[in-house]
Amino acid sequence: EVAPMDERYEDSFKIGAAVEPYQLEGIHGDILKHHYNSLVAENVMKPEAIQPVEGEFNWEEADKIAAFANENDMELRFHTLIWHSQTPAWFFEDEEGNPMVEETDPERQEANKELLLERLDSHIKAVMERYKDDVDAWDVVNEAIADEASNEEGLRESEWYQVTGTDYIKEAFEAARKYGGEDAKLFINDYNTEIEPKRDHLYNLVEEMVDEGVPIDGVGHQSHIQLDWPSIEESRESFEMFAGLGLENQVTELDVSLYGYPPEPAYPTYEEIPDSLFETQAERYDQLFALYEEQDADLSSVTFWGIADDHTWLNDRAEEFNDGIGKDAPFAFDTEYNVKPAYWSMMDDE
Ligand code: XIL
């Protein structure tokens, strides 16, 4: 049996994996126990999974993940309290069931805003009261920043934003502090946090929150990255910027795709991926983990968005852009759970 990844990095940060409940058992469960000391739900703690209908909460699947983390002494990240995606439509419908974003009357717009913020509060309350003692870090708001800014602050024009402006962000953090208590570690989470101008828009928002005393503890860098993008230098700068605000950094959804975006062409089968690409990926992981170790004062956790190459959301993307056929291979374990060159480069002591 090969040496555990989490032990290799135990003096620096946690090593986590995103999981579906079925992966808590069998071979996946064994790998989790051996190599990882932190867990996050890939889907079952998202708003649509937890509160599909207003006031009706579904805890069963989420509970399994929390229980596994507890039983195996692992940290747990909660993903995610507030997001524009995988959130049921009812959140954004007015009392008559019409989409709030279509309202034109200013008085009714104001009423809608109040209603939406009440829903935000009650969702956060229910979730945090249940998992307060289990969770070590909370993704309070996910993906609030736009890729291509159409407003000055660079904020994503989600339904949350259209109905409440930036209030939803601040109120979400206030509510999370209120229900999660002083010890709850509260994160804003996003992808492409290395890339300008998105990085700067995120920085400006977070700086404003810090200045205004909005309770925020850290920045989650999703890190859905590629073999040569973004550069190590860009990643380093981003970590340093947020650490400079006194915040903790976490890498929350790491995967190193073999492709660009969109991922086309993609290799049609896993077997056709050339070994040379796995070697290139290993070099990339080597550099990344060297950077992470360098940052360990402010970087508390590194979570992969999956366990092994048999299960990755990047395959959905590879298929989407290649007529339904395509495989990616982002992790340290292959589709048969053997270690890849990426594993060895991460475990290297040099
Ligand atoms: C993805 C999951 O991996 C997929 O299974 C699901 O179909 C869509 O969501 N950013 C996030 C994650 O914050 O929640 C997303 O997870 C990947 C991108």
The DSSP secondary structure of 313-334, one letter per residue, reads HHHHHHHHTTTT------SSB-
* Dist. CA 104 → ligand 1 center (Å): 33
Q: Specify the residue for token string 């649509």.
A: 48
Answer yes or no: 253 catalytic. Answer: yes
Helix H or strand E encompassing 277 = helix 275-294
The pLDDT assigned to 350 comes to: 42
Q: Which two tokens stand for residue 282?
A: 């290993």
Helix (H, G, I), strand (E, B) or coil at 132: coil
Distance in Å, CA 42 to ligand 1 centroid: 7
Residue 61 CA to ligand 1 centre (angstroms): 16
- CA–CA distance, 43 with 46 (Å, rounded to integer): 6
Among 44, 305, 328, residue to substitute to test ligand 1 (most atoms within 8 Å of Cβ): 305
Atom of ligand 1 nearest to the CA of 313: 3
Site to probe by mutation for ligand 1, drawn from 83, 141, 188, 253 as the one with most ligand atoms within 8 Å of Cβ, is 253
Name the residue with the closest Cα to ligand 1, atom 13. Answer: 142
**Catalytic option among 75, 103, 194, 253:** 253
Q: What is the Å distance from ligand 1's center to 269 Cα?
A: 22
pLDDT at residue 348, rounded to an integer: 87
**pLDDT at 122 (0 to 100):** 98
Regions in the chain scoring below 50 on pLDDT = 350
How buried is residue 226: exposed, middle or buried, by Cβ count under 10 Å (0-12/13-18/19+)? middle
Contacts of 253 (CB under 8 A, 6+ apart): 18, 191, 220, 222, 223, 224, 303, 304, 305
Task: Look at residue 349 in the predicted model and tell me its pLDDT.
Answer: 54
Residue nearest (by alpha carbon) to ligand 1 atom 4: 313
Q: Which of 196, 303, 191, 200 is nearest to 245 (CA)?
A: 200
Q: What is the ipTM score, two decimals? A: 1.00
- Measured by CA distance, the residue closest to atom 5 of ligand 1 is 313
Establish whether the linkage from the previous residue to 265 is cis, with ω within 30° of 0.
yes
pLDDT digits (tens, 9 = 90+) for 208-261: 999 999 999 999 999 999 999 999 999 999 999 999 999 999 999 999 999 999
CB 189 within 8 A of CB 222: yes
Rounded CA gap, 45 and 189, in Å? 15
Write the residue with the smallest CA distance to atom 15 of ligand 1.
42
Question: Per residue in 252-292, pLDDT tens?
Answer: 999 999 999 999 999 999 999 999 999 999 999 999 999 99
Question: Which residue's CA is the closest to the ligand 1 atom numbered 7?
Answer: 313
Query: Phi then psi for 54, rounded to 5 degrees?
Result: -55, 125
Number of helices followed by number of strands (H, E) in the chain: 12, 9
Residue 193 Cα to ligand 1 midpoint, Å, equals 16
- Alpha-carbon gap, residue 174 to 216, rounded angstroms: 9
Query: Cα dist. 208→186, 211, 215 in Å?
Result: 16, 5, 11
Which protein residue's CA is at the shortest distance from atom 3 of ligand 1? 313
- Lining ligand 1 with CB less than 6 A are 42-43, 142, 222, 253, 313
Of 86, 307, 314, 331, which is best to mutate to test ligand 1, by the most ligand atoms within 8 angstroms of its C-beta? Answer: 86
CB-based contact 303:253 (threshold 8 Å): yes
